[in-house]
Amino acid sequence: MAVRREMNILVVGSVAYDSVETPKGKNDHQLGGSATYFSVSASFFTRVGVVAVVGKDFAKDDLSVLEGHGVDTSGLETDSGETFRWAGKYTDEMNAAVTIETRLNVFEHFRPRLSPDHRRAPYLFLANISPDLQHAVLDQMSARPRLIACDTMNLWIEIAKPRLLELIDKVDVLMINEAEAKQLTGEKSLVSAAAQLVKRGLQALVIKRGEYGAVVFHREFTFATPAYPLARVVDPTGAGDSFAGGFMGYLAAVDDTGGEAMRRAAVAGSVMASYTVEEFGLKRLKSLTQKEINGRFGAFVELTRFHPLGGGQGLPLVQKV
Amino acid sequence: MAVRREMNILVVGSVAYDSVETPKGKNDHQLGGSATYFSVSASFFTRVGVVAVVGKDFAKDDLSVLEGHGVDTSGLETDSGETFRWAGKYTDEMNAAVTIETRLNVFEHFRPRLSPDHRRAPYLFLANISPDLQHAVLDQMSARPRLIACDTMNLWIEIAKPRLLELIDKVDVLMINEAEAKQLTGEKSLVSAAAQLVKRGLQALVIKRGEYGAVVFHREFTFATPAYPLARVVDPTGAGDSFAGGFMGYLAAVDDTGGEAMRRAAVAGSVMASYTVEEFGLKRLKSLTQKEINGRFGAFVELTRFHPLGGGQGLPLVQKV
């Protein structure tokens, strides 16, 4: 496997073993974690380095999954103790998991240490971990990355909101879901929540809506994309991080952080998320080809296009006087 | 007000007085009903005739609302008794109303009788009323309309499913929401539900998703449009029927029932629905201008466009070998 050598995106987040139950079946002890889904997804676009911690129980085969995708695992620390574990269950709607168990294990005392190479990464993704760890990574960067994006979750909004807001004020793109945006701002309308967050200084708030797609509230425009309509969703785990991986992977690959690029990045993210949910864990991403990715990007063009009318974009309206 | 004389769309449905409570306030006794929202919305595109029944209590001012929009009200029967009444309440999410009270009143014994002119309507919309009444209208058409669309609701799926399916097999477009599509087919996935319904012979199943937009499952393609992101939704009542009015109004105005037209029709429908929900009842539609409609159609172009890459539609993917 030949990939570009230089590391283009650094991600800090979790590498985990998940036990997942969905209406389509159960899968115990599958490789997961935000940094895993993100880096494998982004690896189709550019070279990714991962900063995370695993336990002594972390399997060599699982390390090979990352390395097989060209992911730089030099920042993957091995600590005594067990790898982070998450168990969750999805009901019929598949939109939200019920967490059955979370065992932080080695994550409890993790302090990320970045190599000189990692400190120079031009794109940085702070996946959903504690704001303190996100700050700890950001503070070690030797130069301000061209683009910093971060994720978070309800837990951190509840127990570490000031520290989280401090982080948000330092990043360019916040990628969360609708409930989190409302919880974070106290607003009842998503549009008002977005306005409040963008006003803090974000370039864009990216709202992940699961089966309803994603919305980019950029400071200059709003862009919405549907999700790809799938007849069979097997396991939604990792969809959000796969989306983030496609989004950041695209931007880093074209090295463009402008608004037009962010529109396409949101579609690239949607393409990656749509594949992830087709199988348990990383199974689908592992077999994914470039041809399939490009094919589904083309399918998104078809899914969303409506030619504005020739000779202007207006509608044929009755003349009322 | 000068509108084209020939009646282009016939709608049968309810004309009602609604009492609505939303997080933004309360409004008692507002003019509503599926045929009302549909015909006022479609009136911006073409001439609409309405077939419905009202009671002795129906106000002259409310008749003027319809006539002021050029709606042909010759099919609006006045019966002894009271106009149909509905009372409902929306909670924070604004996605589904809780019905507090439904009083059919004059609708209980309504038998639609179509005039010779109405029997020749080229476009027909059978709004959400009992399948028996929908059949009664369809059976009176002197020629097969160019396009027949219908709506329905959970009640009819529960108590009159065979009769409803018989109707669906005679129409071209079914416009319902996601829960109804699943209930009607017994499928858990929307895509599977759509496949089952389209296989029966529909040209298209149009799924109305409220704040998440709409999806057209056409027999030749799938098209998805987001809803327009609004900071303030005052009253979602009538959004679905306003959508249907914009959808059918557009198709009838361009007299084109092809797939490309249906994509634009779904956006026209979304434009109309997005305005309806900005105020209680018909208030916003009553003040709506052509310029505003065209402006928001343009905003939908901006909301959804992502230029595929120059020199092909592919993504910049890492070469993995």
ipTM: 0.93
Calculate the CA B170 to chain-centre distance: 18
Beta-sheet strand order (sheet of A214-218):
A72-78, A48-54, A9-12, A123-126, A147-150, A173-177, A204-208, A214-218, A222-225
Kindly state whether A91 is in contact with chain B, defined as any CB-CB distance less than 8 angstroms. Answer: no
pLDDT at B78: 96
Residue A177 predicted with pLDDT over 90: yes
B45 and A317 within 8 Å at the Cβ level: the answer is: yes
List of chain B residues whose C-beta atoms are within 8 Å of the C-beta of residue A232? 189
Residue A172 predicted with pLDDT over 90: yes
**Probe site for chain A from B94, B306, B309, B319 (most A CB atoms < 10 A):** B306
Number of A/B CB contacts below 8 angstroms equals 188
Q: Domain total for chain B?
A: 1
Kindly state whether A215 is in contact with chain B, defined as any CB-CB distance less than 8 angstroms. Answer: yes
pLDDT band, residue B20 (cuts 50/70/90) = very high
Residue whose tokens read 């006087």? A321
Least confident of A70-74, A297-301, B107-111: B107-111
The pair of three-digit structure tokens given for residue A242, joined into one six-digit string: 């796969």
| pLDDT above 90: percentage of residues in chain B | 87
Is the residue at A314 inside a domain?
Answer: no
Is the residue at B250 inside a domain?
Answer: yes
- Which CATH number do you get for residue A93? 3.40.1190.20
Among chain A residues, CA nearest to B264: A306
The pair of three-digit structure tokens given for residue B282, joined into one six-digit string: 């018909």
Among chain B residues, CA nearest to A47: B318
Residue B2 predicted with pLDDT over 60: no
SS3 A202: coil
Residue whose tokens read 């709003």? A222
Boundaries of domain holding B70:
9-302
List of chain B residues whose C-beta atoms are within 8 Å of the C-beta of residue A45? 315-318
pLDDT at A4: 47
B3 and A318 within 8 Å at the Cβ level: the answer is: yes
The pair of three-digit structure tokens given for residue B77, joined into one six-digit string: 């029967």
The pair of three-digit structure tokens given for residue A48, joined into one six-digit string: 């990714």
Is the residue at A190 inside a domain?
Answer: yes
Is the residue at A146 inside a domain?
Answer: yes
Among chain B residues, CA nearest to A309: B264
pLDDT at B183: 97
Kindly state whether A291 is in contact with chain B, defined as any CB-CB distance less than 8 angstroms. Answer: no
A229 and B190 within 8 Å at the Cβ level: the answer is: yes
How far off is chain B from A58, nearest CA to CA, in Å? 26
SS3 A157: helix
List of chain A residues whose C-beta atoms are within 8 Å of the C-beta of residue B297? 308, 313-315
A317 and B44 within 8 Å at the Cβ level: the answer is: yes
A2 and B303 within 8 Å at the Cβ level: the answer is: no
B301 and A307 within 8 Å at the Cβ level: the answer is: no
Calculate the alpha carbon distances from A276 to A21, A22, A176, B18, B221 in Å: 16, 14, 18, 45, 23
A313 and B294 within 8 Å at the Cβ level: the answer is: yes
List of chain A residues whose C-beta atoms are within 8 Å of the C-beta of residue B215? 226, 229
Residue A247 predicted with pLDDT over 60: yes
If you average pLDDT over residues A103-107, what whole number do you get? 89
pLDDT at A321: 44
Kindly state whether A101 is in contact with chain B, defined as any CB-CB distance less than 8 angstroms. Answer: no
If you average pLDDT over residues A270-280, what whole number do you get? 98
How far off is chain A from B133, nearest CA to CA, in Å? 30
Q: Mapped to the 3 state alphabet, what secondary structure does chain B carry?
A: CCCCCCCCEEEECCCEEEEEEECCEEEEEEEECHHHHHHHHHCCCCCEEEEEEECCCCCHHHHHHHHHCCCEEEEEEECCCCCEEEEEEECCCCCCEEEEEEECHHHHHCCCCCCHHHHCCCEEEECCCCHHHHHHHHHHCCCCCCEEEECCCHHHHHHCHHHHHHHHCCCCEEEEEHHHHHHHHCCCCHHHHHHHHHHCCCCEEEEECHHHCEEEEECCCEEEECCCCCCCCCCCCCHHHHHHHHHHHHHHHHCCCCHHHHHHHHHHHHHHHHHHCCCCCCHHHHHCCHHHHHHHHHHHHHHHCCCCCCCCCCCCCCCCC
Residue A206 predicted with pLDDT over 90: yes
Is the residue at B248 inside a domain?
Answer: yes
Is the residue at B92 inside a domain?
Answer: yes
Q: What distance in Å separates the CA atoms of residue B170 and residue B124, rounded to the nearest whole number?
A: 12
- pTM confidence score: 0.95
To the nearest 10 degrees (0 to 180), the angle between helices A34-42 and A259-276 is 110
Give the residue among A195, A20, A209, A213 at the shortest CA–CA distance from A99.
A20
If you average pLDDT over residues B127-140, what whole number do you get? 96
